[in-house]
Each structure stands twice: as C-alpha cells, then as structure tokens.
Amino acid sequence: MKLLRPSLFFTAALLVVCCALYPAAVTLAARALAPDGATGSLLRTGDTVRGSRLLGQTFAHPEAHPEYFWGRLSAASVDPATGFTVSGGTNRGPMHPALLDDARARLAALRATGVTGAVPVDLVTASASGLDPHISPAAARVQIARVARARGLSVGTITDLVDAHTERPFAGLLGEDRVNVLVLNLALDALR
Amino acid sequence: MSPRLLALTVAFFAALALLAVPLGRHLARTFEAPLRPWERRVLTLAGVDPDRPHTWRDYALAALAFTLVTHVTTYALLRLQGALPGHATGLRAVPAWLAFNTATSFATNTDWQSYAGESTAGDLAQTVALTSQNFFSAAVGLCVAIALLRGLSRRETDALGNFWLDLVRAHLFVLVPGSAVLAVFLASRGVVQTLDGPAVWRTLDGAVQSVPRGLVASQEAIKMLGTNGGGFYNANSAHPWENPDALTNLAEMLAIFALPAALCVTLGEYVKNRRHGAAVFAAMTLLALAGVCALGHFEHQGNPLLAALGVDVTAGNLEGKELRFGVDASSLFATVTTDASCGAVNAMHDSFMPLGGLVPMLNIQLGEVVFGGVGSGLYGALVYVVLAVFLAGLMVGRTPEYLGRKIDRRDVRLAALYVLVPAFTILVGAAVAVVTDAGRAGVLNTGAATVNAPWGAHPHGLSEVLYAYSSAAGNNGSAFAGLTAFSAARPVFYSLTLGVAMFVGRLPLMVLALALAGSMARKKQTPPGIGSLPVEGPLFVALLVGVIVVVGALTFFPALSLGPIVEHLQLTAAGGAR
C-alpha cells in the first residue's frame, strides 16, 4: 500500500506532462514552423486535394491507365469499419509462391505494353508501407514509351519530364535516386 | 558492403559518438544532482520520504509497482476506447486479449503490435494509452541502469538512490525535452502532427482514399528515443508519414541508439574510468558493424527466383522495402532497431533474404545488449561484463574482480540466471507454438502451395515463430509480421504466450540487475592484483565480444539452422535449378 500512493501520483502527474503538455507544445510548434508538413504535405489542384506528396496511389487496374506511370505493387488495404487505408507490406518471404505470382502478373502487364528486356525489381515487388510514393528512374524509363503513346506526346517530352522529376540522394549519400510517381502524373496532366 | 552503405554507416557511427559523449555526461549530472527544493516538495506530496534512500529491494518494488499500475491504466484506456471520446467513427473497444497483449507490450518497452494502428487505435488511445508507456517504460529502464551504476560506484552501502526521484528526472530532464526537439524536426520534414482528422481525397483512379492523421510526430519521437518501436501506423517507420525521407530516417536511427550509447559514457563517468565506458562502447560498435555488413551483403544479393523471371535484381531485394531508403538505409535501420530493443521497422523483416533475416533475429537473441534498450541495454551489457571478468578469472585461476570488487558466487549466479531466463523463454515458447495448432495457424509463409492452405512445414514458417518469441522475450517488438498473432478466431494463444514472454523478459531481469547492483554496492574495495582483467583496452573488448557471441551462438545456432539457414540452402538450390 505504501507504494500505491506514489505509483498513482506519478502516473497521473506524468500523464499530464507526457500526454497533454508535451504533445500540445509539439503541435503548436509544428503548426507554427511546418504547417504543410504537419498536416500531411497535401497536393492540391486549385482547392481540390489530390493526395499527399509523400503517399503513393495505386490503380485497381493499371492496364486500364496506360497514360499514367505505375508505381510499386501495394499490400495496403481498406479497413471496412473506418474506411481508413491500412498500410503494410506483403510479409512474403523470398520463396513465397504469391510473391512470384504477383511479379509474373506485373511483368505480363508490362510486356503487353511492349516492354522488353529485364524489368527493374522495384516495379514487380511490393513496398513495406504499401504507400511508397517512389519508383526508380529505371522503372520510370521502361514506361516512357507507353505513356508517350497513350498521350500522343513525344518520347522526348516525357523523358524530359521524368528527368526533371528525378530526385537525387541527400548530400549524395542519404537515400536513393527516385521519381515521385504521383507528382509526375499530376505534372503529366498539367501538360495538357 | 556497397560503398554507399559503408559511407552511411561511417557517418552514422561518427554522429553517434559525437552525440553520445555530451549526452552521457548530461545523464550522469542529471541523476547525481543534489535534491532541489521543488523535487523535495513533489516527493513529499506523493508520500515519498525524500531523505530515505532505497535499498535494491525498495528500488525494485517501486519500479515494479509503477510498471504494474501503468500497465493497468493502459489496459483500461484501450478497453474503454468505445466509451471515451477522441476516436474516429468505426473504432471500438480494443478486444480483451488484444488489449492485454498490447498493454503488456508497451509497459515492458517491447511494443510488439498484434494490431494495425489505423484500424484499432484512435487519437486518445495513441496519444495517451500508448505514448504514455513509451515514456514510462523507457524511464523505468533508465532508472534501473542508473541504480546499477550507483551500485558499481559506491562502497559498503545499501543506498541506491530514490526510484521516484530518478523517474521524475528521467522524464523532465531527458526524455521529454529530447523528444520535443526530435518531434519538431520530424514534423518539419513531413511527419504528421495534427488533430484535424483523416485526410481524404479522390485518387487518380477515382477511388476515395482516407488516411488517418494524429499526433504522430510527438509519438514517433519518443518511440525512437525510448527504444519502444510501436508505430502509429501499421507499417511503422516505413509509412511515409512516420518517416518521410532519408534525413528523418537518419535522425530516427540516431535517436534509437542515442541513450543506449550515451549510457556507455555515463558508465565511464560513474566508475571514474572513461576508458572502461569507451571499451564497452567499442565492443557494442563492433557487434553492430558486423550486423550491418552481413545484412547489407545478403539484401544486396537480390532474389534469384525473381531474376529467373526476367527481373533486373541489381538493386537488391526490394520486396518489403521503401525505395527512398533502398537496401542500404533499410539494412542499417534493421540492424540498429534490433541491436537496440527498439523494434521500429522501416522495412519488412519477414521479406528479407533468408540470411538477411537471420541477422535481426540473432541481434535480438544476443540478449539486446548491443547498445540495447534504454537502460536495459546497459544493465544487460554489464551482466555480460561480469561474465567476461568471471571467465577471465577462471582462465588464470584467480578470484575474479571487477572495478575493485570481488565477483563472488552470488554475482555469477545472478548473471547466469539473467542470460538463461530469456533464452529458455524463447526456445520453449517457439517449440510450443510449432507443435500446437493454435501456434501454427498464425504462420503466413508455409510450405503449402497457396497462402490459405493449412500449415505445411517450411523453414520460413519456423523463422516467423522463432522471431516472435525472440522479439517478445528480448522486449524488441519487431516481427516477421506475416505471423498473425491476433485474430477474432484465435485471440488467445499468441496474445497470452507472447505477453508472458514479454513480462518474463522484462521484470525478472530488472530485478536481477538490481540485485546485482545491491550486491556490488555492499562490497569492500579490493586492490587490483596481477590476476585482475583490465576493463579497458582491446583485450577486454575482444573478451566481451567473444562472450556475447559465444553465449548467443551456442544457444540459438541449432534453432537458426533449421530456419533461415535451411531456407537459404533451399533458395540457392531453387534459384540455381531454374
């Protein structure tokens, strides 16, 4: 019993510090210093929210959208009770049959649009979050011909756009070469 | 090792060393500062006598009482979610077994998650029930480590300080300010911090997408700094709103190791032998480097089965990885998060190459002492130091002595128990799971031809189960997440057994560490003799690394060879055959 009073006292006091004062202070500071980042780095066309610069979007049937660049495979799902996007990976090991089946399906879809040669691995595998916004520059390049054809634009125009949207590692050291698929697709739409 | 991974690793450890030295000295000053008038008033108000120092038993009882009271608080808040405000439409009370498992998980600094944050926990549950434990459990670990350091630096006394005072100081002078700085930095790079509710838009495909937002940055910061690892989102630090870019990734990795590494420096301050602290730091760094090199090597290999389909796998194994991190930053993160008992992930360990996945699993099985958890890493490491000194004493036939203290039978017994308890829990737990239907039903990567078919024995399935018990007993919290540890159809088995493993991996070890502290504090000064092992320099580093590796390898090699090692041979054979 001698221990109950300090246990309860410090639980209550530290709850106030850690779960009210601390998050409130961080929220106020974040709102003041980084209003865009703290609310989700949203991309807008006019007043319409089109998504987040940080979150990838998927196509239920990519082959129906040859005019857009396709991102990585995704294991994200929708929670039926809340309607929220639930992030996550496939958790399949390297020998899992479905891992190879999904890769084959994506390869077939790409081959059907005229892609020949080896396909970059990021285009046939699922990301950890299911919301990876990026693909590699190589994965963008194998799609340029298809997108150009579907939009009636020259390969050169699309290539320039991809190059302009290729992000480099921070300080040449941190991160990978990558292309933000949603930002690139919105830029394609803006060409029209 | 790729040049980029090498550069990243060197930069990371250089930054860590620069951070650890001032932080470690700050810790020593913070916990040895004289009692301030306001601290005296707060302790008195709480019914604590500020002038009566705790013996190791008092200290242990207070730490246990606080842990259990906060465990109940967290459990209650999760169960009452439906009745309380502060959650999105559609979220209800967390089911009883899941709430038990989750409360246990967060109270023991494990942060194993049998649930997806998006579909389970609303703002109140995330910010209060879970974030509170991120602070509390880390602070308790820190306090116990400080008590052990006092035991190693005091003579012929029972006094190990006052748990409640240490608890307050751990929060106000270490965890809260550190987290605040990190949280604001994370938010500035795109980690969400708002109560505006979910963000909703129509995708290019025309579908409505609704992604929950909340006080993510403030939770993320203490999740890392407290080596907790429980994510706001299901994908944890792989979710772009928890970890948006390479810079936040670096900051999060540094935050995981910051306090455990700083405590090595604090050790040097307390025992007035900075070279001893540096030697422990060096031993930990060597073990961490070995992990990064191995993991990076295997993940760069790429999957031969994908290569056989006509895929260019030169970028390595990207299944379950984010492109902005790639193989390199994912490998370093996975090593750091499992060396420390953090368990946050920025890549899915279940999708690693077989021997790549072995590395995080073995890191955990080494006892979470490669820097380890906040506090728990140092007190675990000091147990291995005692074992190393004891073995050195046996080798030269002298009474072992550590920091001018004779190591006697009781100390060695405590240390041996400390090593055996988690090892026993892991191996027995995994064995029970793979021979019961309830245990096997949770496995994703089976040998069956299709995913939904019943269990077929496959080494990867064993790895999922072995990893789960390692993670629970090691209080790590990362997973081979294909394992379904909670479902409406089978709510009890893993919730209960992993919950017990988490308790066993935390509370008894904490008590053993404090008992060791009590024993050390009572001893008389013994002048070092010619048989004493110097606890600084390369010989000591090599001996400490050797003891940690030999104990871990001997205990777990048989189990690992049936899991990841056999799978590696199978994959090599299958890849070569095509």
For A157-170, how does the pLDDT look when each residue is reduced to its tens digit (9 = 90+)?
999 999 999 999 88
pLDDT tens-digit readout, B507-555:
999 999 999 999 999 999 888 777 788 999 999 999 999 999 999 888 9
- A180 contacts in chain B (CB < 8 Å): none
- Note which residues in 143-162 of chain A have CB less than 8 A from chain B: none
- C-alpha B88/C-alpha B387 separation (Å) is 51
Q: In this prediction, what percent of chain A has a pLDDT beyond 90?
A: 94
pLDDT tens-digit readout, B242-294:
999 999 999 999 999 999 999 999 999 999 999 999 999 999 999 999 999 99
- B208 contacts in chain A (CB < 8 Å): 83
- B48 contacts in chain A (CB < 8 Å): 6
- C-alpha A70/C-alpha B440 separation (Å) is 37
Predicted confidence at residue B90, as pLDDT, reads 87
Sign of the torsion angle spanned by Cα atoms B189, B195, B200, B201: negative
Q: Report the C-alpha dihedral over residues B188, B192, B196, B201, rounded to 10 degrees.
A: 110
Say whether B571 and A95 touch across the interface (CB within 8 A). yes
Phi, psi of A119 (to 5 degrees): -100, 135
Say whether B480 and A132 touch across the interface (CB within 8 A). no
- A40 contacts in chain B (CB < 8 Å): 192, 194, 199, 211, 213, 241
Nearest chain A Cα distance for residue B283, angstroms: 26
- C-alpha B56/C-alpha B143 separation (Å) is 12
DSSP state of B156: S
Phi, psi of A182 (to 5 degrees): -65, -45
ipTM exceeding the 0.95 mark = yes
Give the closest of B46, B234, B323 to A132, CB-based.
Answer: B323
- B316 contacts in chain A (CB < 8 Å): 121
Predicted confidence at residue B528, as pLDDT, reads 76
Q: Is pLDDT larger for residue B457 or for residue A103?
A: A103
Q: Which residues lie closer than 8 Å to B307 by C-beta, 6 or more apart?
A: B313, B575
pLDDT tens-digit readout, B123-175:
999 999 999 999 999 999 999 999 999 999 999 999 999 999 999 999 999 99
DSSP state of B236: G
Task: List beta partners, residue B153.
Answer: none
- C-alpha B362/C-alpha B467 separation (Å) is 9
Domain boundaries, chain B: 3-577
Phi, psi of A59 (to 5 degrees): -105, 130
Say whether A170 and B460 touch across the interface (CB within 8 A). no
Query: Do residues A125 and B316 make contact, with C-beta atoms less than 8 angstroms apart?
Result: no
- C-alpha B474/C-alpha B342 separation (Å) is 10
Query: Do residues B230 and B108 make contact, with C-beta atoms less than 8 angstroms apart?
Result: no
DSSP state of B352: S
Q: Which residue of A has its CA nearest to B177?
A: A22
- Residue B110 CA from chain centroid, whole number: 6
| pLDDT, chain A, mean | 96
Predicted confidence at residue A176, as pLDDT, reads 84
Per-10-residue mean pLDDT of chain B, 578 residues long, equals 89 97 98 98 97 97 98 97 88 96 97 95 95 98 98 96 98 98 98 96 97 97 97 97 96 98 98 97 97 97 95 96 96 98 97 97 96 97 96 88 93 96 97 93 77 69 96 97 94 97 97 98 86 90 97 93 94 76
Nearest chain B Cα distance for residue A148, angstroms: 18
Q: Which of A14, A41, A49, A107 to mutate to test the interface with B (most CBs of B within 10 A)?
A: A14
Predicted confidence at residue B525, as pLDDT, reads 87
Say whether B205 and A59 touch across the interface (CB within 8 A). yes
Nearest chain B Cα distance for residue A176, angstroms: 6
Predicted confidence at residue B578, as pLDDT, reads 46
Say whether A125 and B449 touch across the interface (CB within 8 A). no
- Output the pTM of the full model: 0.97
Nearest chain B Cα distance for residue A192, angstroms: 16
- C-alpha A91/C-alpha A106 separation (Å) is 18
Predicted confidence at residue B451, as pLDDT, reads 47
Task: Say whether pLDDT at A67 is over 70.
Answer: yes
Alpha helices, DSSP H, located in B199-273: 216-225, 246-270
Token look-up 């150009």 returns A148
